Amino acid sequence: MIENILQSRFIVIKNLFYFNFLVSVYYLFNNTFTWADVGVISCVFFFMNPLGIAVAYHRYWSHRSFEFRNKFFLYLCTIPPLVSGSGSILGWVGIHRKHHAHSDKPGDPHLAANGIVKMLTMQTYHYVPSPKEVIDLIRDPFILNSHKYYFAFPLIYAGLLYLLFGFAGFVLGFCMPAALSMITQNTTNFVNHFSETEFKPRNVAWINVFNFGDGWHKNHHDNPKRYTNRQRWYELDLAGLLIKYVFAKSVID
């Protein structure tokens, strides 16, 4: 029963990313952008990626590095990545945990050695969900059902945007920030493991502009259970600061 529910949604997620990217490019070439448009995209992207991916999917659901202060904050950070097309909690966490178990080796579900083009287009990603990798999450009915009926989340969200705000609202509130979130994740997975001599986790400061601290990738691989990736005074980790001072009951550093 569990194996039937834990089917991979990856092919459709990849095609949804392609759709969002192509629609975004079409819109860019056929419309004049305003600062208000940029503000909408940036705001939605902030909820989808820095809060949704870095805080919720990555540091909370994947590594349990902290506990949310309350249910409101938990769902505030968890719903945006669900509607973004980045995948279900089970799927994303399963891929990430397998990545840590086989980092830069055969079995890594997004092996950076395959190259930046294949990483950006998600041609190298491969993953078949396993109950063993997400056994702690399977016990949560919300997580299990949100995987089983995953595509209801982006479809309902995108549909409401179109009905309420038309094509522009659909693109600015869904397609562009969702595509940007996936590009950020795929770029991070490559850049933070690439070097001219070998592939291994490394820190890349400029990546933090988009993912609020996950650019300190080597720090994270050295100690994945920490709520923050900061090790030195100059390593700014905004996701870690939000966790410590806003979202978490308490943290142990």
138 within some domain: yes
- CA-wise closest residue to 15 among 99, 87, 98, 92: 87
252 within some domain: no
Q: Which residues contact 125 (CB under 8 A, 6 or more apart)?
A: 10, 14, 95, 109, 110
- Domains identified in the chain, total number: 1
253 within some domain: no
Task: Check whether 67 has a pLDDT greater than 70.
Answer: yes
Q: Could you tell me which residue, 183 or 110, shows the higher pLDDT? A: 183
* pLDDT tens digit sequence for 117-175: 999 998 877 777 677 888 899 889 999 899 989 999 999 999 999 999 999 999 999 99
153 within some domain: yes
170 within some domain: yes
107 within some domain: yes
Helices 35-46 and 176-191 sit at what angle, rounded to 10 degrees? 60
Q: Are 131 and 138 in contact (CB under 8 A)?
A: yes
Strand partners, 203: 216
Out of 90-94, 114-118, 130-134, 179-183, pick the least confident: 130-134
158 within some domain: yes
**What's the confidence (pLDDT) of residue 27?**
97
140 within some domain: yes
**What's the confidence (pLDDT) of residue 12?**
86
Task: Check whether 228 has a pLDDT greater than 80.
Answer: yes
- Is residue 233 classed exposed, middle or buried when 0-12, 13-18 and 19+ CB atoms within 10 A define those classes? exposed
Residue-range definition of the domain harbouring residue 237: 2-247
Tell me the C-alpha distance between 56 and 89, whole Å.
Answer: 9
pTM of this prediction exceeds 0.85: yes
* pLDDT tens digit sequence for 189-203: 999 998 767 889 999
Both tokens assigned to 110: 């997004």
**What's the confidence (pLDDT) of residue 123?**
85
Find where tokens 């097309």 sit.
Answer: 85
